[in-house]
Structure 1
């Protein structure tokens, strides 16, 4: 019976991982990588055409290329093609870079950073990270029009660049073998992470609704909810 229960738990864990890998956010991330590859392929193709055109012009109007020049042109074409095709994508933004980014770029930067943290999260947290990413994509245009000096902009930057990264990084520092175990009668690190991400998700929804309704003043009075819930008044992490 114990073995059967353990097998069922293992099967459920595998199903969670499969669902997590086929989430809308993961599909979109894969599509973005494919689009990026074909964009680089297009640039590499035009760069090769440019080398061919330059070689033709040199051979026609300046000096004949000869066999050596022809092979040199082939080498240049290969270097340009594979150099552009293998050019690495932009590195994942860090929380420090997110904190310094302009407000219109903050949602997309945070979304990319959170996508990079996804493999280290348990399946329920991955689904919440996907939902947060979807909300960030949706509210991007709202914050692009917001004055950076508004209290709403300050609270959003604090939530995205400080509180969310700290929540995830604190979880990642817990040894993997201890993440499912409750400590001192409280919730396990896995459950604390899920609850924290759920609060972030709810905060984003609240911010979006209040910005849409023009009620920006409430954000200044409610913005410390996450900090108080997970740190307490003394500023120490619970």
Structure 2
């Protein structure tokens, strides 16, 4: 009987693993991976541009110095080695952090959403399946949130709430979960909740808060459009404009 139970558990575990892999090829996880690739490609382009600028600067400096004082073959070789050294350092230095670190609190609104999206993508695999589903739900709404936050001042109260959630509260929740040893994550607390369940509840609350902020900002844009439309209609309706 025990052997049969173990076989069933192994089969269920294998099924869960396969379904997770299928889910990651499609849907929100796939979209998050695509966005992460786009960020990595943008980082690569930035590195190439920095290398090009560095080579041009060294070349111009070498030419100007050569006009003042002949540098000879050894001077030319030294300039080439300097350019190669600088280019090598810039080529291997990321234009932005690549670790799964939460976004810095001083980033602009749009950049913070991008960094938060990257943080979620890199942290996702270490979380249980129900938490991964919440992560996917949060990630799927970030594009709309970024579009509205980019037009809102950083000190706007709703923008401040969103920024705290992305740079502080949600990353702290995930990081605290990571510190709990796996053996303790299934133990129930005084309210009968496990660490995994607390994580999912916290992510769900954060997702709903971010969605509310995004919807409120979008509704404000809609209201502003309606107000402007009514003003134009009342100002120019049934009036002729002299040419």
**Both proteins in one fold, TM over 0.5:** yes
2:10 aligned with 1:7: yes
**1:53-99 deviation line (CA, Å, top 9, x unaligned):** 4334443x23333231122022112112101101234336966942x
The residue that corresponds to 2:33 in the other structure is 26
Q: Which has the larger radius of gyration?
A: 2
In structure 2, do the counterparts of structure 1 residues 161 and 67 end up closer, same or farther at CA, with 3 Å as the change threshold? Answer: closer
CA separation in 1, counterparts of 2:74 and 2:54?
21
User: Among 162, 165, 168, which residue is 2:174 paired with?
Assistant: 168
In structure 2, do the counterparts of structure 1 residues 58 and 18 end up closer, same or farther at CA, with 3 Å as the change threshold? Answer: farther
TM-score scaled by structure 2?
A: 0.69
CA separation in 2, counterparts of 1:101 and 1:52?
34
The residue that corresponds to 1:192 in the other structure is 198
TM-score scaled by structure 1?
A: 0.70
The residue that corresponds to 2:232 in the other structure is none
CA separation in 2, counterparts of 1:160 and 1:195?
16
CA separation in 2, counterparts of 1:132 and 1:180?
24
Q: Secondary structure at the match of 2:141?
A: helix
Q: Is the 8 A contact 1:111 1:137 kept in 2?
A: no
Q: Is the 8 A contact 1:94 1:113 kept in 2?
A: yes
CA separation in 1, counterparts of 2:209 and 2:77?
61
Q: Is the 8 A contact 2:103 2:166 kept in 1?
A: no
2:43 aligned with 1:40: no
In structure 2, do the counterparts of structure 1 residues 158 and 19 end up closer, same or farther at CA, with 3 Å as the change threshold? Answer: same
CA RMSD, aligned part only? 3.3
How many residue pairs match? The answer is 213
User: Among 100, 114, 123, which residue is 1:117 paired with?
Assistant: 123
